[in-house]
Structure 1
Amino acid sequence: MPEIVFKGKPLNEAKKVAIMVHGRGATTQSILELSDYLQLEGFALVAPQAPGNTWYPYSFMAPDKNNEPSFSKSLQTIDGIVSDVKSKGFASEQIYFIGFSQGACLSLEYAAQNAQRWGGVIAFTGGLIGEHLNPSKYKGNFEGTPVFIGSSHQDMHVPLSRIEASADQLEKMGAKMKTLIFPDTYHTIRQEELEWVNQNILS
């Protein structure tokens, strides 16, 4: 099991849990720093560290086999955290996913493969994973879970077409979907995204 870093409220005192998933080449510290900008008071924050700082070796749109076995192991890491949190008495609607870039893709993919009423899924620049979108991979119903994707209209890693296709798939599965697409080319998290998420998902 990869290293897991905890921040915020202890699990036995928290009302909600945020599973925070860092991007390629990054660390738990980088994603946990987002807690300075997000309304996560009362949350336990759980951040897994990817082996070698990457969840899978190639693009999220590479042929599926190219990213194995790392991709499946990464999904298992998230699933292990979810199972542990649920075993401590948290319901799925008290569990939130927050990811950036590669971590956003992994968060969306895990949530879609295990769709239920989550607290929220917040993807700062990400889309569903695979060379082609394969709806047969996804099961369950989000039952109105708020799902957010924010990105540049021309991100260097995540094409707008994949974001749009991902949003369509998630909406078909019952997600309350919101995308914010910005007229820049930056691979970053913008103040407008933080504000929207704070007001509409975390408050």
Structure 2
Amino acid sequence: MSIFRVNSEHPFSGPHQNQSVVSGGAKIDDAEIGMIFIHGRGASAQSMMMFADEFEADHIHYRAIQANNHTWYPRSFLAPKEMNQPGIKSGLQAIYDQITKLNEAGIPTKKIVLLGFSQGACLTTEFAARHPQRYGGIVGFSGGLIGDEVDPKNYAGSLEQTPVFLGCSDRDPHIPQERVDLTEEVFKTLGADVTKKIYVGMGHTVNQDEIQQVQQIINNMA
């Protein structure tokens, strides 16, 4: 099974290219840390900017990317990948493009946090697993790796102890805990420093403890 990886020399062009980007926080040229938000199905880039108000730091530049028609891919993340193309490839390219934008502004990838919720968390974890290197952090709120099957042998490389946080309910209606557990396994195999927390009866949302987990990642980057 082949794994699509973004090629900088031949960027993928699809439904999520040339979409709007919402930014906030410190000016990009003044920031020490970059954080990229990836929204869930039916949501928006603007809605993800509420997370920027939760973190205590004045040196972060936030960028929230927008999916075409508010959806990164049409079917469940548990469907075969082929059924969710070209959305997945286009979404991965959109994340890569924003990392490149931050790099060009002087923020290295090791100072960039990727944070996604729900469908956006699935895209975020998939991107990091396919493009392992040292990131500032990888955050998956209620999400996991994409596909009807996940084979850890299909992911290779090193995340170089990148801090990864995976948070989800034990009864999330969209995200089976088994997929979060498998995502944890893949990231540990890739050499990430993984924290996984399963919250009893939480539902499909984000709680304050999860926010604090991300705040700790930010604090450790200072």
TM range (shorter): over 0.9
Query: What residue in structure 1 maps to residue 204 of structure 2?
Result: 187
What CA deviation, in whole Å up to 9, does each residue of 1:11-68 have, x standing for no partner?
1000010001111100112111011112342110011110000111111110111101
Name the residue aligned to 1:61. 78
Residue of structure 2 in register with 1:156 after alignment: 173
- Measure how far apart 1:154 and its partner are: 1.4
- Measured in 2, the distance between the counterparts of 1:85 and 1:182 equals 33
Q: 1:136, CA displacement in angstroms?
A: 4.5
Amino acid at match of 1:95: I
1:128-165 CA-to-partner distances (Å, cap 9, x unmatched) read 11110033442321111000011101111110000000
How many Å separate the matches in 1 of 2:218 and 2:36? 13
- Alpha-carbon shift at residue 191 of structure 1 (Å): 1.1
Q: Hey, what's the Cα distance between the residues in 2 that align with 1:185 and 1:17?
A: 29
Paired positions, count: 202
Following TM superposition, by how much is the alpha carbon of 1:185 offset from its aligned partner in structure 2, in angstroms?
4.6
Is residue 2:130 matched to residue 1:107? no
Q: Which runs of 5+ in 2 are unaligned?
A: 1-17
**After the TM superposition, which of the residue ranges 36-45 and 175-184 deviates more from structure 2?**
36-45
Partner of 2:7 in structure 1? Answer: none
| Corresponding residue to 1:48 among 65, 76, 89 | 65
CA distance in 1, matches of 2:156, 2:107: 21
How far 1:7 sits from its partner (Å)?
A: 0.7
Q: Any idea what the Cα deviations from partners look like across 1:67-91, whole Å, max 9, x if unmatched?
A: 0111111111111111222122221
Deviations 1:82-105 (A, max 9, x none): 122212222111111011101111
Does 2:27 match 1:10? yes
TM-score (norm 2): 0.88
Matched, 1:134 2:144: no
Query: Unaligned stretches of 5+ in structure 1?
Result: none
Q: Which residue of the partner structure matches residue 140 of structure 2?
A: 123
Give 2:192's match in structure 1, choosing from 170, 175, 197: 175
Q: Where in structure 2 are the equivalents of 1:23-102 lying within 5 Å? A: 23-102=40-119
Equivalent pair of 1:156/1:185 in contact (CA under 8 Å) = no
Letter paired with 1:139: A
What value does the CA root-mean-square deviation take over the aligned residues? 1.2
Alpha-carbon separation, structure 1, partners of 2:180 and 2:213: 18
Give the 3 Å change call, closer, same or farther, for CA 137–85 of structure 1 in structure 2: farther
Q: 1:40 to 1:140 in 2, by over 3 A?
A: farther
Counterpart selection for 2:163 from 146, 167, 175: 146
Q: CA, structure 1 residues 66+150, in 2 after alignment: closer, same or farther (shift >3 Å)?
A: same
